[in-house]
Structure 1
Amino acid sequence: MMDIARNILFFVIALGILVAVHEWGHYYVAKLCKVKILKFSIGFGKPIYRKVTSSGMEFVIAMIPLGGYVRMLDGRVDDITEEQKAVAFNFQPVWQRFAIVAAGPIVNFIFAIFALAAIGMIGQQSAKPIVGAIAEESYAARSGLSVGDEIIAVGRHKTNDWRDVTIELSTFSGEQSIPLEVKQSRGVTQTISLPIDGWKIDPDESDLFTALGFQPYRPALTTSLGFVEEGSPAQRGGLLKNDKIEKIDGTSMENWSQIVAFIEKRPNQSATLEILRDEQSISLIVQFGQKPGAPEQGYLGVVPFQEPWPEEYIQHTQLGFFGAIADGTQQTWRLMGVTLEMLGKLLTGDVSVKNLSGPISIAQGAGISASIGIVAFLSFLALISVNLGIINLLPLPILDGGHLLYFTIEWITGKPVSEAVQEVGFKIGGMILFAVMATAIVNDVLRNT
């Protein structure tokens, strides 16, 4: 329940920030063009906050945080006088109307640049993309990739961490192979081909790396307990943080995988655990529970300590202002490119519509990233902001991109698109958008049931 509340809270915060940024872009350029603003709304539906500014504009925060709008004086829907034509949106030159509409998505991209630049200035510690394990008879095993290899490029794009690797690998969905540049443990750099035989991203798979047959390097888990969940079978059985599990029912436990395998096979069964606590050997009788979501598996409710990371596997980055802006711009540009590539693959079928995510997935992403820390939350905001900007530029009449399409036609022909044609376009665009949103919401529900 706490997780749901956290997800909803940070979903509202994230979407509120991004909607405000987007609509502020429209508002700011409209003000520069001397267009009269009647209303600036963050959200839809019943207002929960309302204020009228000195200019007469109504500022509203509404209950449904799934969008927003800037309402400008417009002779097509408002009764205006001859004098008001100078400040009405529809009487502005086509280039000004184009600029006002385009400003929303553009400011989303600018926001992403500054969010990613802020991460660069804050500084972060990340794991180098070093391969830790390779599954037998997998795509990775056929490629010549080896444990200890550092992936320094995927295709034409350099990769500094596993986030970069994940983004770049995803763009090869539906292809026959993935070119990788790797640096081997002995320092030699080489290019290898990861054969994927038309593999496609599947949201039902545990993760992308497992699907391709390799795993990032992670330090081994110890048999000492780093966390004991409150109210868990472990706590009821008397286990404490820092206890080291040495034996279960007389069987020596050499590693954490062995402990997990033993427990998972014994739901609701009791076992004798021999532990080391403060250099003293203690025996405890513990009854395992059932794993949430998988009642056929045993459950203890503990998290082990992890061995420390080797220093050479970790990189520390922190940039100055100008370096961070340059890096944020480069990252945003790449995210824009990846988003367009994935949209193209969605149309060609190389990416399944099952990968579309709706508000539930976004809320989960917001909550999880916020719980990790400010760097993860800023990265999440940047990603969603870029996606919001790109989606709004799609040439669907109900979106900003549709309006820009109409303005472009007007620019070329010298006369506006007729209201009848625009109305038909809005209806078609609305149906397409509704179908996409419905698919995304159904996907969300299926993933969480």
Structure 2
Amino acid sequence: MFEIIRNIGAFVLALGILVAVHEWGHFIVARKCGVKVLRFSIGFGKPLYKRITSTGMEFVIAAIPLGGYVRMLDGRVDDVAEQDMAASFNIQPVWKRFAIVAAGPGINFLFAILILMIVAMIGQDKAKPFVGEVTPSSYIAATGVEAGDQIIEIDGAETRTWQSVNIELMRFIGADNIPLTVEKPNGQVVSYDMKMPNWQFDPESDDMFSSIGFEPFRTKPSKIIALVSPSGPSDQAGLQENDEIVKLNGTFMAEWGQIVDYVAARPNETVEVEVLRDGQSEVFEVTLGERETPTGTAGLLGISSQVGAYPENYYFHDKSGPFDALVKGTQETWRLMTLTVEMLGKFINGDVAVKNLSGPISIAQGAGMSASYGIIVFLGFLALISVNLGIVNLLPLPMLDGGHLMYFTAEWITGKPVPEAVQEIGFRIGGVLLFMLMAVAIFNDINRIT
């Protein structure tokens, strides 16, 4: 229940911020262009909050947080008084109308730059992309990459972190080969052309790295307890942080993985747990809980293990000053923009299945999960969704900003506006297409949680 509330709260917060930013872009440029704004609404439907500003504009927060709008004075739908005629949107030069509409997606990209700039200035420890285990006979094993190699470039793009590796690999979904460069433990830099015939990767269900044949380097968990879940099985039995698990039911446990497997096979059973506490052996009886997994019900001990520290050369502290952070934020935003466009292309040509299209439920889950990891991860999620919102709004579909820009471009070229009848037909077609896309996205969301 808590997870659902957290997801909904994070979703409403994230979408509210992004919608407000997007609509503010339309609003501020409209004001600068001398257009009168009648209403600024965050959300649709019944107003939950309404205020009239000093300029006479209605500011509204509405009940359905799935979008928003800025309503401007427009002689095509409003009775415009003579003194307000110059402030009507429809009589503005085409370049002003273009600027007002383009400002929404544009401010989404600027907002992403700002967020990523702030993240860069805060700083965080990041793991370098060192390869851990390599699966024999896999794509990457056949290439010659080995455990301990550091991936430093993919197709010429620098990869300093696992996030950048993931982004660059996604560009090659549907490709037959991936150019990559690694640095060997002895410092030798080697470039490979990884052949990927018949690469089957489903972003919905597969792990990208595993599908290629490797796992990122991770430190191994120890048998020492790092965290005891409050009111969980171990907490109720009296186990504590820093206890070291030695035996379960008299069987010696050599490593954490053995503990996990032993517990998983015994849901709801009572297990005798022997631990070392302050150098002394103590025994506790723990009645295991249960958890659902893709393969069925598994036992639950209610603890997590201490993980060893990363070797110093396997991570770095990434923190930048204001100017470098601005450059970094701009570069990362541009990379997200190009990746989003490339992924849209892969949807169209079939390299990425339609079932991977995500809707509001998946976004809510992503918002909740990112919020649970802390402010840095949540800000990164905001930047990603802001870029996606900007790109999607630029699609040349009537009903979206991109559709309006398409009409304005045609007017710019021909010197006369697109006929109202043609625009109306386009808006109807665009509405049907958007409804279909949303229906597919929501259907996919429901399938994921059922």
TM-score normalised by the chain length of structure 1: 0.97
Q: 1:267·1:289 contact (CA, 8 Å) conserved in 2? A: yes
The Cα shift of 1:103 comes to 0.5
1-structure distance, mates of 2:194, 2:361: 34
2-structure distance, mates of 1:240, 1:320: 42
1-structure distance, mates of 2:313, 2:167: 24
Alignment RMSD (CA, Å): 1.4
User: Greater shift after overlay, 218-227 or 277-286?
Assistant: 277-286
Alignment-mate amino acid for residue 15 of structure 1: L
- Structure 1 residues 64 and 200: CA distance shift in structure 2, 3 A: farther
Alignment-mate amino acid for residue 43 of structure 2: G
Q: 1:42·1:69 contact (CA, 8 Å) conserved in 2? A: yes
Deviations 1:163-203 (A, max 9, x none): 11111111111111211111111111111233322425413
| Aligned match of 2:327 | 326
Alignment of 1:42-441 (within 5 A): 42-293=42-293, 295-441=296-442
Q: 2:39·2:57 contact (CA, 8 Å) conserved in 1? A: yes
- Structure 1 residues 204 and 415: CA distance shift in structure 2, 3 A: closer
Q: 1:205·1:211 contact (CA, 8 Å) conserved in 2? A: no
Q: 1:170·1:201 contact (CA, 8 Å) conserved in 2? A: no
2-structure distance, mates of 1:240, 1:133: 32
- Structure 1 residues 346 and 200: CA distance shift in structure 2, 3 A: farther
Q: SS of the counterpart of 1:231? A: coil
Deviations 1:394-439 (A, max 9, x none): 0000100000000111111111111111111111111111111111
Q: 1:233·1:299 contact (CA, 8 Å) conserved in 2? A: yes
Alignment-mate amino acid for residue 439 of structure 1: V
Q: 2:200·2:211 contact (CA, 8 Å) conserved in 1? A: no
The Cα shift of 1:293 comes to 4.2
2-structure distance, mates of 1:289, 1:142: 43
The Cα shift of 1:6 comes to 1.2
Q: 2:204·2:356 contact (CA, 8 Å) conserved in 1? A: no
Identity percentage over the alignment? 56
Q: SS of the counterpart of 2:411? A: helix
Deviations 1:96-143 (A, max 9, x none): 100100010001000011111111111111111111111233222222
1-structure distance, mates of 2:138, 2:125: 31
| Aligned match of 1:17 | 17
- Structure 1 residues 204 and 18: CA distance shift in structure 2, 3 A: closer
The Cα shift of 1:206 comes to 4.4
2-structure distance, mates of 1:177, 1:301: 43
The Cα shift of 1:304 comes to 0.6
1-structure distance, mates of 2:141, 2:290: 35
Q: SS of the counterpart of 1:292? A: strand
1-structure distance, mates of 2:420, 2:112: 35
Q: SS of the counterpart of 2:179? A: strand
Q: 2:125·2:317 contact (CA, 8 Å) conserved in 1? A: yes
User: Greater shift after overlay, 208-217 or 398-407?
Assistant: 208-217
Deviations 1:134-168 (A, max 9, x none): 12332222221111111111112111101111111
Question: What is the aligned residue count?
Answer: 449
2-structure distance, mates of 1:57, 1:201: 50
Alignment-mate amino acid for residue 166 of structure 1: N
Where structure 1 has 5 or more consecutive residues not aligned to the other structure, the ranges are none
1-structure distance, mates of 2:206, 2:279: 39
2-structure distance, mates of 1:26, 1:139: 48
Q: Which runs of 4+ in 1 moved over 4 A?
A: none
Q: SS of the counterpart of 2:40? A: strand
Where structure 2 has 5 or more consecutive residues not aligned to the other structure, the ranges are none
2-structure distance, mates of 1:55, 1:289: 61
Alignment-mate amino acid for residue 352 of structure 1: A
2-structure distance, mates of 1:12, 1:280: 50
| Aligned match of 1:446 | 447
TM-score normalised by the chain length of structure 2: 0.97
User: Greater shift after overlay, 66-75 or 237-246?
Assistant: 237-246
Q: 1:131·1:214 contact (CA, 8 Å) conserved in 2? A: yes
1-structure distance, mates of 2:196, 2:303: 37
1-structure distance, mates of 2:355, 2:148: 34
